Amino acid sequence: MTTAFWFHRDHRLQDNQALKAAVDSAIEDGSKHVVAVSVIDESHFYELEGIRQHSLVESLRALDRSLNGRLNVLNVPNLAEYAQKLSEVLSSMAVSRVFATRAFDPAWVRLQKRVGEALAARGVDLFLLDSYYAVRPGLVQKPDGTPYRVYTPYFKNWLQLGWDSPVSLEPSAVEWVKLEETPGNLGLPTRARLRRSQYVPVKRSHSRLLRSSAHEPWISTINCATAQI
């Protein structure tokens, strides 16, 4: 019995309810084995601009470090093959249960449904828990059960519903399984494959350099590409 956790837009170990459920399940069944996997859809990823590619890779790298290098990154050619490839790899690891945070945007709702079906065909269960939000979409409702279309009453009701306290995780309570047989589609994209920035800086005007007070105080904004390291 092996449990897997499928990371997507929830790159963290703490206050991750779905991950906590995966770890608890691996402890309960006695195996204490968890496969942590994240998937890169290459057809989408290689269309992104360089900075965005780098920031995703750095976020996954940070997640991998927090798992002591035990994150498995699976590269799939496109969305159509995503579910098939992911379920193939996981069932080859004798995974019987997969956990993930439930998505609510239409593209990922469809994908999670397809992954659930592909896993079910191999006898593997997919459990979708929690959300990326304090109050999951669909919960805040008018008294008549319909959704709010105006923000302010939504906010008041959202605040009243409240949210769970953060859950904490002891990552060393389980063994994080690294897929050792590298089938060529595993691992983070190498830096050489990432796009270079499209931005061509414009030369600063000479008159700027001639001024005595060339330096002006500037409160720097955080460089997004490195902010999450």
164: exposed, middle or buried (Cβ count in 10 Å: 0-12, 13-18, 19+): exposed
Q: Does 105 bind another protein (CB under 8 A)?
A: yes
Q: Does 160 bind another protein (CB under 8 A)?
A: no
Q: Does 192 bind another protein (CB under 8 A)?
A: no
Q: Does 205 bind another protein (CB under 8 A)?
A: yes
Residues 6+ apart with CB under 8 A from 131: 101, 102, 103, 104, 137
Binding span for another protein by CB under 8 A among 26-34, 91-99, 129-137, 174-182: 129-137
Binding span for another protein by CB under 8 A among 23-31, 91-99, 179-187, 206-214: 206-214
Closest CA to 178 of 76, 84, 68: 68
Residue 137 to residue 132: CA distance in whole angstroms: 9
Q: Which of 32, 42, 154, 171 binds another protein (CB under 8 A)?
A: 154
Residue identified by tokens 């409240």 is 162
Residue 12 to residue 15: CA distance in whole angstroms: 8
Taking a C-beta distance cutoff of 8 angstroms, is the pair 176, 70 a contact? yes
CB nearer to another protein: give 165 or 172: 165
Site for another protein in 48-67 (CB under 8 A): 48-49, 51-52, 55-56, 59, 62-63
Letters for 163-182 (x = contact with another protein by CB under 8 A, - = none) are xxxx----------------
Q: Where are the beta strands (DSSP E) in the chain?
A: 2-7, 33-41, 71-76, 95-101, 125-129, 175-176
Residue identified by tokens 């600063």 is 204
**Least distance to another protein, CB of residue 182, Å:** 25
Site for another protein in 8-47 (CB under 8 A): 8-12, 14-16, 47
SS3 213: coil
Binding site for another protein (CB under 8 A): 8-12, 14-16, 47-49, 51-52, 55-56, 59, 62-63, 101, 104-109, 131-135, 137-138, 140, 147-151, 154-155, 158-159, 163-166, 197-199, 201-205, 207-208, 211, 216, 218-225, 227-228
